[in-house]
Amino acid sequence: MIVLREWLSRLWGTFRRGRPDADLQEELRLHLELAAEDDDRRGSAPDAAARAAQLKAGGIAQAIEAQRDQRGLPWLEDLGRDLRYTSHTLINAPGFTIVAVLSLALGIGANTAIFTLMDAVLFRTMPIEQPDRLYFLGHDPGPLLELSSNFPIFERYQTATVFSGVTAYQSRTFLVRTSEATERVVGQYVSGNYHAVVGAPMALGRGFSSEADRQPGGSLLAVISHDYWLTRLGGSADVIGRMLTIGDRSVTIVGVTAQGFHGLNAGQRLHITLPMSVMALDAPRFFGDKSGWIGMAIVGRLASGVSEPEALAATDVLFQRFMQEPDNGWARMPGRDRFRAAALVPAARGTFSLRTQYSKPLWVLMAMVGLLLVIACANVAILFLARSTDRAGEMAVRLSIGAGRSRLIRQLLTESAVLALLGGAAGVMIAIWGTDAILSVFAIGPSPAAIDATLNVHVLAVTAAVVFLTGLGFGVIPALKSTRVDLAPALKDGARAIHGARRPTLGKALVVAQIALCVVLVTAAGLLAGSLSNLKDFDAGFSRDRVLLADIDISGARLSPENRLRFFSELLERMRGMRPVESVSFSSRTPIDFSSQLRRIEVPGFEAIPRNGVSPNTVTPGYFKTFGLNVIRGRDFTDADRQGTQPVAVISDAMARHFFGNGDPIGRTFVLGPDTHKTFIVGVVEDARHERLRSDTPSRMVYLPVAQITAGLDGTINAPNRLALSLRTTEEPAALAADLHREVRAINKDAMLPYVRTLEQQIDAALIPEHLLSTLSSWFAGIALLLACVGLYGVMAYNVARRTREIGLRIALGAFPTAILSRVLRETFVVSAIGVAIGLSIALAATRVLSTYLFGLTPDDPATLVGATGLLLSVALLAGFLPARHAASINPVGALRDQ
């Protein structure tokens, strides 16, 4: 308490609120007078008495100084003085300040932006109670790890005592009807204990608590998200008890989850949650469905005191028992390498697919921005070094009149700290803008990953640490170096001292490092950009340009199967009539649409195992024409292939070769599971990378006519509610989107077009990691190049300034300016060539980690390496040219007279 009071008082005193110096002086003077009088009284001579008193009591100056120290907080006063001094020096050298702050801002901004993404995608935990106690109950650990389960196994798991609660959810897209329109909303069906087990935070009302799952229609309730409440329901306080129409049912809203809670599927914006008992109204059989996994995710919260291995052991016992149940024969099919063991997956950060997909690209980018920051720091260090020549005289004067070296270093470090802070503040601005720009790369595709990349305390803490480290990083060495001044010559020659013995090796070393790191970044960027363009240009079998794709969803229109087919054929007719349309077709899948299917097929002579599986697509006549696939043998589909006629199929070349070798497949038959009827092959079509651009072998595709899709044994029509429309046009395809919307609505106003895009856009959506890496690495390489240029320029300019007299002398003695020019350029070239050589060897080793993202070139692609070398050297020479020209134009008279 008492000490706190002293510190407050001293803090007060720091701001000149304590006793003034005159007051202190008067007190001390009295002390000396009284002391002298006392001595006088004892008989000394007045002069001697005063001197003795002074000797005994110490000097006034020292006492005042000690009192000043006690009055305020000296370090705080020094800091204030350093800050004032720093602001003067920085303002007086605006060029230096701007370049330094910008360098740091770019470095720190890039780091903050990437770390923001990493935090959002990889590190942040869900806003739920005790997230680290929540686990997904999946199966098949290792590369086959999957979270998809079904209701029966969920019921078995619920008996486990190692969990305080086990719950399940099934993601769905809900059709929400309002008086104006029908909207597709991300939702889920959950077991009645979901909110309690997950520990979901609520903003209003309640979550589900004990609604029974096996009670169809027993609880027509809904919980909505905070976002949905604000954007669709106006955020009104009386939302609890309001009704929502979802599909054909009305449900009552009982709760709103807190802001930031979006379920456990990472990257998804969950808005509406319904109890599983509502799902049972439409699919009553799913409770007992043991015919496979249906995509239900199961989560459990560990009971207190139970460790993860204990819980896993108990879960696995239940899993094994379940898989041995008699009607789970599918799990023991030959050729299956699955369903071996249960797996517990931490659920604190939600599902892992987004993390798996982006973890490596983000780490690669983090490494890149790390290098960028090193380059930026080197830049500022170079600027400091260059400036220390200018300030050598100033430092010498200070040191010679007694300033402590530690005091001067503190002053210089204050300067670097201020620069780092300014750079950090500007960097955060850049990061806010940059994160948005980066997120726009993610925001494509049918269900763009929702990433909440806002700045938060974690990110700012990391940025602060980075700022602190950079401040030290670029500040310490120059500070140590510039305060080690050889006083005599520095004072004599002032700022233009010639340190003959001290060559600027440190600056050159920094530039070499900068250029080397720059080469690494430029090479990586070149490889990634090259791969992306290879991926975009490579012939995947289908033609990519001028195709518009649109998902057409008519589930909201509630049409009979016949009317659905009628709807689709009417739309085909209307679109076919439009002028720029070359060909138009429907299909259940389109190339590179994220779908992946493998169906069991029975072909005489082949085992029906996954290794022999095929990938199906149902199409209308015209599909092959739309995508530029030629029919190699037999025929295309026609309108005559419809319900009631012979079931037919067109197969891909890869499938034909797999099953029939060089024989003729036309007229052969197969049975495609789960159907039981025989299908005749009528044609063979060219191969295409239908599922993945990067696959080495094209998938074995089997195409079936839409009009022949039947439902099981009775052969009734099972027309789909949702198909993808493909339009090949003669003009820019995106221009047709408005017409398409109009025509669809004209036929049926309840039809929806949830996703309209060009084929190019669809392919881009499949290449998000590649886009992300390529775009960002190009930016970073560009920034690195710019920074390295500034660094090189700084060092060469400093070098020329340092040697002004020498160069002047040379010119005076008859050296040609061109000789001076080429001399400086040669020096630049040597420095950059060393940097490039070191950089190339690092790049060769480092770019191996990129190989998963490369396509059509290897990490040691010669063209890229040569390109990077050429780019770096030419940019370096450009940066070196200005100082060289300056050197050549030095006026010998002026240069020599100034000395």
Select the residue interacting with another protein from 81, 722, 742, 745 (CB under 8 A): 81
Residue 46 within binding range of another protein, rule CB under 8 A? no
E strands, 588-623, in order: 601-602, 615-619
Nearer to another protein, 37 or 570 (CB): 37
Out of 21, 38, 248, 436, name the contact with another protein by CB under 8 A.
38
Q: In angstroms, give the least distance from the CB of 12 to another protein.
A: 9
User: Which candidate, 703, 595, 688, 681, places its Cα nearest to that of 633?
Assistant: 681
Binding segment (CB under 8 A) for another protein, from list 26-34, 195-203, 630-638, 657-665? 26-34
Q: Using the rule CB under 8 A, is 9 a contact of another protein? A: yes
- Residue 717: enclosing H or E segment and its boundaries? strand 716-717
Of these, 20, 21, 48, 56, which contacts another protein (CB under 8 A)?
56
- Tell me the C-alpha distance between 415 and 478, whole Å: 11
Identity of the residue, 63 or 233, whose beta carbon is nearer to another protein in the bound complex: 63
Q: Report, in Å, the least distance between residue 93 CB and another protein.
A: 18
Among 585, 707, 702, 723, which Cα is nearest to 646's? 707
Site string for another protein, 399-438 (x = CB under 8 A): --xxxx--x---x---------------------------
Contact present, 372 and 776 (Cβ < 8 Å): no
**Which C-beta is closer to another protein: that of 9 or that of 595?**
9
CB of 398 to another protein, least distance (A): 5
Q: Out of 34, 488, 495, 878, point to the residue binding another protein (CB under 8 A).
A: 34
65 near another protein (CB under 8 A): yes
Q: How far is the CB of 497 from another protein (least distance, A)?
A: 20
By beta-carbon proximity to another protein, the closer residue of 77 and 806 is: 77
Q: Which is nearer to another protein, 33 or 545 (CB)?
A: 33
Among 40, 44, 51, 57, binds another protein (CB under 8 A): 57
The verdict on 40 binding another protein (CB under 8 A) reads no
CB 36 within 8 A of CB 46: yes
Least distance to another protein, CB of residue 500, Å: 28
DSSP label at 891?
-
- Degrees to nearest 5, angle at CA 842 with 840 and 844: 70
**Residues contacting another protein: total by CB under 8 A:** 45
Q: Which of 15, 20, 30, 217 binds another protein (CB under 8 A)?
A: 30
Helix (H, G, I), strand (E, B) or coil at 874: helix
State which of residues 14, 28, 365, 564 lies at the interface with another protein (CB under 8 A): 28
Binding mask 242-271 for another protein (x = CB under 8 A): ------------------------------
Of 21, 46, 48, 58, the one binding another protein by CB under 8 A: 58
Q: What angle do CA 493, 498, 504 make, to 5 degrees?
A: 140
Tokens in use for 20? 């003034």
A 10 A CB-CB count for 884 gives: 23
Residue 481 structure tokens: 């170096």
Smallest separation, CB 73 to another protein (Å): 11
* 5 belongs to the binding site for another protein (CB under 8 A): yes
If one asks whether residue 392 binds another protein (CB under 8 A), the answer comes out as: no
**Which lies closer to another protein via its Cβ, residue 74 or residue 216?**
74
483 token code pair: 């305060």
Start-to-end Cα distance in the chain = 62
Assign 304 to helix, strand or coil.
coil
Q: Is 35 in the site for another protein (CB under 8 A)?
A: yes
Half-sphere exposure of 549 (CA within 13 A, CB side): 24
C-alpha 762: how far from chain center: 20
- Alpha carbons 137 and 197: distance in angstroms, whole number: 13
Which residues in 500-519 contact another protein (CB under 8 A)? none
495 is a site residue for another protein (CB under 8 A): no
Choices 20-28, 452-460, 534-542, 657-665 (CB under 8 A): range interacting with another protein: 20-28
- The conformation of residue 14, written as its DSSP 8-state character, comes to I
Q: Nearer to another protein by C-beta: 7 or 433?
A: 7
Does 36 interact with another protein (rule: CB under 8 A)?
A: no
Does 16 bind another protein (CB under 8 A)? Our answer is no
The two tokens of residue 780 are 């970073």
Map tokens 């080197």 to a residue: 378
- Residue 543 as a binder of another protein (CB under 8 A): the answer is no
Residue with Cβ nearer another protein (4 or 813): 4
Please select the residue that binds another protein; options are 16, 17, 45, 85, rule is CB under 8 A: 85
Residue 27, interface with another protein (CB under 8 A)?
yes
Q: Phi and psi of 301, rounded to 5°? A: -105, 125
If you ran DSSP here, which 8-state letter would residue 849 be given? Answer: G
Which residues are CB-neighbours of 376 under 8 A, at least 6 positions away?
Answer: 103, 104, 106, 107, 108, 470, 787
Binding flag, residue 78, another protein (CB under 8 A) = yes
72 vs 733, beta carbon nearer another protein: 72
For another protein, which is the closer residue by CB, 61 or 461? 61
Q: Binding of another protein at residue 717 (CB under 8 A)?
A: no
Binding segment for another protein among 117-125, 138-146, 396-404, 807-815 (CB under 8 A)? 396-404
Pairwise CA distance, residues 348 & 359, whole Å: 16
Q: How far apart are CA 563 and CA 565, in angstroms?
A: 5
Considering only residues 749 through 788, tell me which ones interact with another protein, judged by CB under 8 A.
none
Cβ at position 120, least distance to another protein in Å: 46
Axis crossing angle, helix 768-802 with helix 817-846, rounded to the nearest 10: 150
Sequence-distant (≥ 6) Cβ neighbours of residue 791 within 8 angstroms: 375, 378, 379, 382, 510, 511, 514
DSSP annotation of 630: P
67 binds another protein (CB under 8 A): yes
Nearer to another protein, 10 or 536 (CB): 10
> Which part of the chain contacts another protein (CB under 8 A), choosing from 115-123, 171-179, 397-405, 875-883?
397-405
Smallest distance from another protein to CB 417, Å: 17
Q: Please report whether residue 24 would count as binding another protein according to CB under 8 A.
A: yes
**Dihedral angle computed from the Cα positions of residues 809, 812, 816 and 818, in that order, rounded to the nearest 10 degrees:** 50
Compute the least distance from the CB of residue 31 to another protein, in Å: 5
Answer for the pair 544, 628: CB distance below 8 angstroms, yes or no. Answer: no
Q: Which amino acid is at 444?
A: I
Phi, psi angle pair for 676, to nearest 5°: -120, -10
Q: State in angstroms the smallest separation of the CB of 19 from another protein.
A: 8
Cβ at position 91, least distance to another protein in Å: 16
The CA distance from 750 to 471, in Å, is 61
40, 51, 74, 79: which one contacts another protein (CB under 8 A)? 74
User: For residue 275, what are the β-bridge partners?
Assistant: 190
The answer to whether residue 63 forms part of the interface with another protein (CB under 8 A) is yes
Q: Amino acid identity of 770?
A: E
Question: What is the smallest separation between the CB atom of 84 and another protein, expressed in angstroms?
Answer: 10
Q: How far is the CB of 413 from another protein (least distance, A)?
A: 14
Closest by CA to 101, choosing from 114, 113, 87, is 87
Identify the burial level of 56 via C-beta atoms within 10 angstroms of its C-beta, where 0-12 means exposed, 13-18 middle and 19 or more buried.
Answer: exposed
Using CA of residue 834, residue 838, residue 840, residue 841, what is the dihedral sign? positive
**Residues at the contact surface with another protein, assessed by CB under 8 A:** 2-3, 5-6, 9-10, 13, 19, 24, 26-28, 30-35, 38, 56-60, 62-63, 65-67, 69-71, 74, 77-78, 81, 85, 397-398, 401-404, 407, 411
